[in-house]
Amino acid sequence: MNENSNSSPIDYTIIFIILSFGIISCFTLYTLNPVLGAGDQGSYFKQIFWYSFGFIGAASAMLIDYDRLHQVVWFLYGLGIIMLLMLFFNFPPQLVHTSGGATSWFRLPGNVTLQPAEFIKVFLVIALAHVIVKHHENHRLKTTKSDLLLLGKQLGLALPPMLFIAIQPDLGSFLVLVAITAFMILISGIKWRILLSLLGGFLLVTASIVMMFVINLTSVTTFLEESVFAHVDSRFYGWLQPEKYELDAGLQLIKAITAIGSGQLYGKGLGNFEIYVQERHTDMIFTAVSEQFGFIGSSIIVTLFFLLIYRMIHIALESNDSFGSYLIVGIIGMITFQVFQNIGMSVQLLPITGIPLPFLSYGGSSTLAYLLAIGIVLNVKSRTQTYMFE
């Protein structure tokens, strides 16, 4: 077979999109600087550093053959679990950091914070891809028993980090892990009747919880307030009836919608922020783009994300190695859900959760994790062999 030399081993479209996100992120943070609190000022400069460091990580991930991830997968997964256990046991106490009621960070020397949940997302993708590939190698003949075993393996891998992250509590990261696991289960080759049964059970449980909430609102609310999910009920109230709870649970949503709407078509111009929105440089950075650059600026952001996901889907389909395809699908699930959830919560399509907008929100851990994931995608692309007569 003759190898087709017309296909470049480097996906310049993805590189261009990520560079565009980096420029937009740092520029938006720069325009936000005057309206941020003293502790958050200078975030644009820190973001430049994280992007620079992240590009080095992405380049390293791209240069090392992704097939070697098979060899280090359990080390990475174990490292992630150990970090989550350290947060759970508050060890060492001088490094564990709590903010907004969530114990989700380590505070390192130099006042640098590290959020393990961001990295466990990527580690879980690698672990699930590894397990699926090895399972299919060991079970050439597909049966209902082997499919249930594969399902059990995936859930067994995903549940421990989900549990520890839920306890922190970090609802946003918990939902991202759910999305990653769901994407990987869907493409793992499990029979559809098993998946439909699983979906039916999930819908039944969800419907039961909703009915309990409707029938006995007081009891459910009391249960939530006495559990690690004490913040969940208020977020639902603030989402469904923001005007009624405009002084507390609905305040951030009302401000976010007002800021986005005030940008109208062309925006109000650079640095023209008239609406105060909490966490505007992190979870609510989409409102800053919308207020300054209006519908046009927001549409550019959404289009860039669409192109990024489209290119990743193309690479996953083009890859002639199942491990590479599974890796990219997991990363697609991670990024797609976060984009949908972050923008959706900003426009009242979904409840507000503490979840950053990939590549745009300020945050060292998230930026490093996303760029590491992109490095893996580019790695798969660079090692995909295309042939003239396949």
pLDDT score of 5: 46
Q: Is the pLDDT of residue 2 over 50?
A: no
The model's confidence at residue 226, banded by pLDDT at 50, 70 and 90, is low
Across 16-20, 32-36, 282-286, 382-386, least confident range: 382-386
Distance of CA 232 to CAs 11, 61, 362, Å? 41, 37, 24
Nearest to 378 by CA among 319, 295, 291: 319
Q: Is the pLDDT of residue 233 over 50?
A: yes
pLDDT score of 1: 44
Q: List, for residues 182-202, the tens digit of each pLDDT value.
A: 999 999 999 999 999 988 988
- Domain extent listing, the chain: 12-382
Q: Which residues contact 36 (CB under 8 A, 6 or more apart)?
A: 43, 280, 281
Q: What percent of the chain has pLDDT over 70?
A: 91
Rounded CA gap, 65 and 324, in Å? 11
Rounded CA gap, 261 and 290, in Å? 8
Nearest to 329 by CA among 127, 130, 184, 157: 184
* Top-confidence residue, 385 or 42: 42
pLDDT score of 244: 84
Q: Is the pLDDT of residue 387 over 80?
A: no
Distance of CA 71 to CAs 66, 76, 124, 171, Å? 10, 10, 15, 31
Q: Which residues contact 146 (CB under 8 A, 6 or more apart)?
A: 135, 139
Q: Are the beta carbons of 334 and 121 closer than 8 angstroms? A: yes
Q: Is the pLDDT of residue 231 over 80?
A: no
Q: List, for residues 242-278, the tens digit of each pLDDT value.
A: 888 888 888 999 999 999 999 999 999 988 898 899 8
Top mean-pLDDT range of 206-220, 306-320, 374-388:
306-320
The model's confidence at residue 228, banded by pLDDT at 50, 70 and 90, is low
Cα-only R_g, the chain: 22
* Top-confidence residue, 41 or 85: 85
Q: What is the DSSP letter of 356?
A: P
Rounded CA gap, 265 and 305, in Å? 20
The model's confidence at residue 97, banded by pLDDT at 50, 70 and 90, is very high
Q: Is the pLDDT of residue 299 over 70?
A: yes
What's the mean per-residue pLDDT of the chain? 89
Nearest to 259 by CA among 374, 347, 381: 347
Across 124-128, 134-138, 238-242, 257-261, least confident range: 238-242
pTM: 0.92
Q: What percent of the chain has pLDDT over 90?
A: 70
